[in-house]
Structure 1
Amino acid sequence: MTIAVIDRPVTAGGEETILTAIEAPDAALAIWTRRLPPLFQAILATLDLDRLDDVVIDLDAGTPIHAALADAGYPDDAAALLAADIDRLVHCQSRLTGVQRLTVKLEVIETDACRRFHADYVTLRLLCTYIGPATQWRHADAPETIHALATGDVGVFKGRRRLDPPPILHRSPPILATGGRRLLLVIDPARSPDDL
Structure 2
Amino acid sequence: MATQLWAQEPEPVQIAASPEVLLSVTAPEVALAIWNRAAPAGLAASIDALVLDAVDDIEAAIEAPISAADLTVTLQDAGYNSDVVALLAEDIAALAGRFAAVVGRTRFKLRLEVIETDACRRFHSDFVTYRLLTTYRGQATQWIETDRPDAVAQMRAGEVAIFKGRMLLDDPPVLHRSPPIAATGEQRLLLVLDPVTE
- Judge same fold: TM > 0.5, yes or no: yes
**How many Å apart are 1:95 and its aligned residue?**
1.5
Q: Which TM-score applies when normalising by structure 2?
A: 0.91
**How many Å apart are 1:42 and its aligned residue?**
1.3
- Unaligned stretches of 5+ residues in structure 2: none
User: Helix, strand or coil for the counterpart of 1:17?
Assistant: helix
Pairing 1:14-53 to 2, within 5 Å after superposition: 14-53=17-56
Question: What residue number does 1:66 align with?
Answer: 72
2:151 paired residue among 145, 156, 161: 145
User: Helix, strand or coil for the counterpart of 1:145?
Assistant: strand
For the residues of structure 2 that align with 1:115 and 1:191, how far apart are their CA atoms? 26
**How many Å apart are 1:187 and its aligned residue?**
0.2
Question: What residue number does 1:109 align with?
Answer: 115
Q: Which amino acid aligns with 1:175?
A: I
Question: What residue number does 1:189 align with?
Answer: 195
For the residues of structure 2 that align with 1:167 and 1:110, how far apart are their CA atoms? 28
Q: Which amino acid aligns with 1:50?
A: D
- Unaligned stretches of 5+ residues in structure 1: none
For the residues of structure 2 that align with 1:60 and 1:41, how far apart are their CA atoms? 25
Pairing 1:75-154 to 2, within 5 Å after superposition: 75-154=81-160
Identity fraction in percent: 47
Q: Which amino acid aligns with 1:28?
A: A
Q: Which amino acid aligns with 2:36?
A: T
For the residues of structure 1 that align with 2:81 and 2:96, how far apart are their CA atoms? 21
**How many Å apart are 1:191 and its aligned residue?**
5.1
Deviates more, 1:151-160 or 1:136-145: 136-145
Q: Which TM-score applies when normalising by structure 1?
A: 0.92
Q: Which amino acid aligns with 2:25?
A: I
Q: Which amino acid aligns with 1:144?
A: D
**How many Å apart are 1:66 and its aligned residue?**
1.5
